[in-house]
Structure 1
Amino acid sequence: MSDQRIGKMLQAMVGNEVVAVSPPLASVKKGAALAHVAEQFGFVYADAKLHGYRNSQLTVFLVRDPRPEAAQRAAATTGQFPQAGQGGPVPGLRQGRLTPLPEAKDAVELLTARIIFDTTGKKAEKQIWLGMVGVVVGATIAGLVRGDGSAGALYAYLSLAALICLVLGGGILFTRKRNTKAAARLRTAGLQEVRDENGRVRYLPPGQHLPGQGNPFGGQPGPYGQQAPYGRQGNPGQYPQHPQHNLPNSPYPAYQQPPGNPYPQGQPQVPGQHQHQPQQPQDPRRQYVQQQAPQVPPQYPQ
């Protein structure tokens, strides 16, 4: 199952600038492991978000690294791991599992801290507070409607709402603790604190800029709309239509992994692997038909 997820991710990375992956069971550690593999093939972690019922789904966003050294790293990784995602070895992970090897453990843990911080900030707390307000309002309405306005029924519903809010309040404290711990881990690793246009705090490696503002690395060309610097462009017609996630605070759509067989055309294409295709020669002969009026000899009077 892990090989299939990695294979789908590598297939989606061919010819796309933004890729969204969803780890199993919304596992942050498995999402960080997938992001680490993507970095070896020329992509970088951009953002993450929780969504779905009770935030039961995690989506990790990856963007293409436009720096030349990223393309070189992707080409070297492709040559060293030609069967990645097809049952063969995967860079930095145990074969067949989304578990980091000892040499990749620190890098995966750092990505884990970034994902935790990005999904446990003020926005997550706001969602919990809104949930508490909804519980109180719903309990009040239920007590008035189902209890025929009696004080006893209203008190019972509000007591239940208070108990639920107490549990949600504990969730806020737990979220703040995880967020603070992740921020300390990122600062220790040398990541820089920045704020996006909405005031959201992010931690980025030195030299990297926020995604969604064109080039996330600032000094190198390669906005999201440009053609991929390496690898053959994928054929968008070979995948069925499906919902897409957008990179948070970015107008650029992300490529979501298609369900079903990840290799509709046979073997997957790995980013960084050049594909040479024969080109059909053009016929240089161009024929133009010109119609001319018939020449009539002049006639003279006899």
Structure 2
Amino acid sequence: MGQRHVRKMLRKMAGGQPVEVEQVATLRSLALMAAVAEQFGYAYADTRQRHRNGPQMFFVPDPHPQARERAERNRVRYPDAATGGALPPVPADVLELFKARISYDLEGWHTDKQRTMLLYLVLTVLCVILGVRLGLGGTSPTVAATVAAVAWAALMAVTLFLVSVRRRKRARFAAILEAAGFTQTTEQSGRERYLPLTYQ
């Protein structure tokens, strides 16, 4: 499945223009696409989360001489990569690095505070609806309110746990990227990213 997306991406890159891909289901497939794109003269630019169609990933032509030379070599070695032939091998450490970059970019579109407030709002509304339905179903108002309150407290505890898990994941991704020489930067929107020193 991942290779099919890679070949489709390579066909788009034949024109030498910026490329975007979407409807890719797994993180491994996204990382594989980014790693192979790098072998054919493109640089990974960003990944955005589209709720209906999944992640949307962006690539741009890499203007650096080393990237141009690498792309030329690989076009000679793998002339049929876009149409079913062999693809360049991707080392495991390169794949893991792209997984960290893509994951960090995807997680960065909303801050912990924004995610938590949204979850609080949604869960509060759901618990109110639960209490109202129990009350309309014949349950005493006191019991209905108690059940709704207990459900709300339990869901809030789960939400806080999930936020802490997300923070630990981001810290792990950040450590991987910093060890690889990436630099943290903050966009005008306040979103944090890790970019290579050669990023333009």
Same fold (TM over 0.5): yes
8 A Cα contact 1:49 1:119, kept in partner: yes
Matched with 2:34 is 35
- The structural deviation recorded for 1:8 is 0.9
Matched with 2:177 is 186
Matched with 1:5 is 5
Structure of higher RCO (CA pairs closer than 8 Å, 6+ residues apart): 1
8 A Cα contact 1:136 1:158, kept in partner: no
8 A Cα contact 1:132 1:165, kept in partner: yes
8 A Cα contact 2:127 2:149, kept in partner: yes
Larger Rg: 1
Question: Could you tell me how far apart the structure 1 residues matched to 2:109 and 2:4 are?
Answer: 35
Query: Could you say what secondary structure the match of 2:81 adopts?
Result: coil
Q: Identical aligned pairs, as a percentage?
A: 30
- Distance of aligned partners of 1:164 and 1:185 in 2 relative to their CA distance in 1, 3 Å threshold: same
Higher helix share: 2
Query: Could you say what secondary structure the match of 1:123 adopts?
Result: coil
Q: Does 1:147 align with 2:135?
A: yes
- The structural deviation recorded for 1:133 is 1.8
Matched with 1:222 is none
Matched with 2:63 is 66
- Distance of aligned partners of 1:83 and 1:65 in 2 relative to their CA distance in 1, 3 Å threshold: same
Question: Could you tell me how far apart the structure 1 residues matched to 2:59 and 2:23 are?
Answer: 11
Structure 2: where are the runs of 5+ without partners? none
8 A Cα contact 2:6 2:32, kept in partner: no
Structure 1: where are the runs of 5+ without partners? 93-99, 209-216, 218-302
Q: Number of matched residues?
A: 195
- Distance of aligned partners of 1:85 and 1:3 in 2 relative to their CA distance in 1, 3 Å threshold: farther
Question: Could you tell me how far apart the structure 2 residues matched to 1:12 and 1:166 are?
Answer: 46
Deviations 1:111-147 (A, max 9, x none): 1111122222371532343022211123124423651
8 A Cα contact 2:2 2:32, kept in partner: no
Name the TM-score, length of structure 2 as normaliser: 0.85
Q: Does 1:116 align with 2:115?
A: no
- The structural deviation recorded for 1:168 is 2.3
Matched with 1:20 is 21
Query: Could you say what secondary structure the match of 1:178 adopts?
Result: helix
Query: Which aligned pairs between 1:219-234 and structure 2 lie closer than 5 A?
Result: none
- The structural deviation recorded for 1:196 is 0.9
Q: Does 1:90 align with 2:73?
A: no
- The structural deviation recorded for 1:106 is 1.9
- The structural deviation recorded for 1:81 is 0.4
Query: Could you say what secondary structure the match of 2:146 adopts?
Result: helix
Matched with 1:131 is 119
Name the TM-score, length of structure 1 as normaliser: 0.58
Amino acid at match of 2:165: F
Query: Could you say what secondary structure the match of 1:60 adopts?
Result: strand
Matched with 1:231 is none
- Distance of aligned partners of 1:128 and 1:46 in 2 relative to their CA distance in 1, 3 Å threshold: farther
Supply the RMSD in Å over aligned alpha carbons.
2.3
- The structural deviation recorded for 1:198 is 1.2
Question: Could you tell me how far apart the structure 2 residues matched to 1:120 and 1:20 are?
Answer: 18
